[in-house]
Amino acid sequence: MCVYTVSSDTFFTLIVVILYIAYFTVTFSVNNNMVTIEVLTGSNFKKWKEDIEFAMEMADADLSLVTDKPGDLTVASTDDEKLVHAAWMKSNRICLLSMRRSILDHLKSGLPTDCTAKELMTAISERYHVSSNADIGSLLQVLFNMKYDGNGGVRDYVIRMVNYQTKLKALKVDLSDTCIVHQALNTLPPEFSIIKTNYNFQDESWSINDLISRVIAEEEKLKKEKGQVALYVAGSNSHKGKKSKTYCNDPNFH
């Protein structure tokens, strides 16, 4: 029998994670697909909406989220119209059930009850709409406060900056690649100063790919130099404490 010992902090963290999964996510099967949706608590609307849309698309049940309700069937309806109508009705039931099951009870107050899934999503979106100006401010603050700390590699660091650039562009804030290159170079540690110096003495601007290739090459060079220094220090330390041998050609020396 194996016995594992964990610290009180680790145990508390595990309990918190388990409770979060139990109370703040909904998992169920839709069309033989397991679906997990983060429960809407108010402040996590974007994540909840993404979960709903992704889950319904993966389950092939998103028709009612992206299209309006088709017209009522009549005796003149074609077979294709009947199939579309049936598919939409099934999608609507699944989407409504999924959305309502993943919203905290006290947040359901005031939401429409007799509506389509698309209408319900619109109503929830209007309630939790975040101003694009707030999004822009948050993204700019994060981008211009980034500092490279060595974690994840310099390539990932630059790509994270490009990701914020892309998000801002979607909000109609277009930061040029040159701006991102400058920001990246200015926030790299002193070890990369030679890259910045080389850039400043050139008239030609770098693309993002140019920047990435150069900083990666410099990063590899720095790693190699650190490795060589470590080997030298280790070799020097290994000789410390060793007594040197003394040789004498005098036959009378004892």
pLDDT at 116 over 70: yes
Global pTM value = 0.55
Name residues whose C-beta falls within 8 Å of residue 35's C-beta, 6 or more positions apart in sequence. 26, 27, 28, 29, 55, 58, 59, 98
Per-residue pLDDT tens digits for 150-170 = 888 999 999 999 999 999 998
Per-residue pLDDT tens digits for 49-78 = 999 999 999 889 999 999 999 999 999 999
pLDDT at 249 over 80: no
Long-range contacts of 219-225 (CB under 8 A, 24+ apart): 219/153, 219/154, 219/192, 222/191
Per-residue pLDDT tens digits for 184-237 = 999 999 999 999 999 999 888 899 999 999 999 999 998 888 765 555 555 555
Domain boundaries, the chain: 8-127, 132-238
For the segment 132-151, the average pLDDT, to the nearest whole number, is: 90
Residue 6 — very low, low, confident or very high, per pLDDT cuts 50/70/90? very low
Which pLDDT belongs to residue 180? 96
